[in-house]
Structure 1
Amino acid sequence: MLDVSFWELLIIGAIALVVVGPERLPRLMRTMGLWAGRARASFQSIRDEVEREVNVDSVRETRRAIDREASEARRSVTDAVGQVEKPADATDKAEASTPGDDGDKPR
């Protein structure tokens, strides 16, 4: 995250020792450590929330794609059933309207 080397930290510590003094330096370092930990936890929380939201969006998009595919499959099955029913209906009507066909009736 921050690219701070050992020597840079040593210089910052020496300046803090001169500015704050040896009595308050441990308390200052402890407070700085607490704030750094809280900031790190806050950033991690934000990162986790963003990752969850991104994952939720991808799941929603996947669901939409599956719904589209299911709708297309349903439509094609309905069309196929309609195409099968039309010739069957036409055949039934043709058989019913054939004149002089008394196949089962005795004379």
Structure 2
Amino acid sequence: MFDIGFGEILVIFVVLLLVVGPERMPTVARTTALWLKKIRGLISQVKQEVEQELHAEELRQSLRKNIDLPDLKKPHQDSSDHTHHSIKKSSDDL
């Protein structure tokens, strides 16, 4: 994710040690770890929700394509017309 090398981490650690001091360093490390864990959890949750929405939208589009096919309506209408014509012819014969 971030391109941080060992030397850069060492510099950050030394600066943090000088600013915070050795007494409060474990507390700062724990607090930082908790915040990073929360941030990762939120990012993971948002990513999962976006993927679910994209999948749901793909399904909606697929259903729209399957329902709105004009070829499916025409054969049904033709067979209905044919049945109606057959019934009318049979009743005329009587």
Using the size of structure 2 for normalisation, the TM-score is 0.81
Number of corresponding residues? 94
For the aligned residues, what is the CA RMSD? 2.3
1:48 aligns with 2:48: yes
Higher helix share: 2
Kindly provide the amino acid, as one letter, of the partner of residue 7 in structure 2.
Answer: W
Q: Which runs of 5+ in 2 are unaligned?
A: none
1:1-107 equivalences under 5 Å are 1-69=1-69, 72-83=71-82, 85-86=84-85, 89=88, 93=92
- In the alignment, the residues of structure 2 paired with residue 40 and residue 66 of structure 1 have an alpha-carbon distance, to the nearest angstrom, of 39
Higher relative contact order by CA 8 Å / sep ≥ 6: 1 or 2? 2
Q: Please name the residue that 1:104 is paired with.
A: none
Higher-Rg structure is: 1
Structure 1 residues 76-105: Cα deviation after superposition (integer angstroms, max 9, x where no partner) = 221244146547746875x67xxxxxxxxx
What percentage of residue pairs aligned between the two structures are identical? 28
Runs of 4+ in structure 1 deviating by more than 3 angstroms, as ranges, are: 83-93
TM-score by length of 1: 0.72
**C-alpha separation in 2, matches of 1:23 and 1:91:** 101
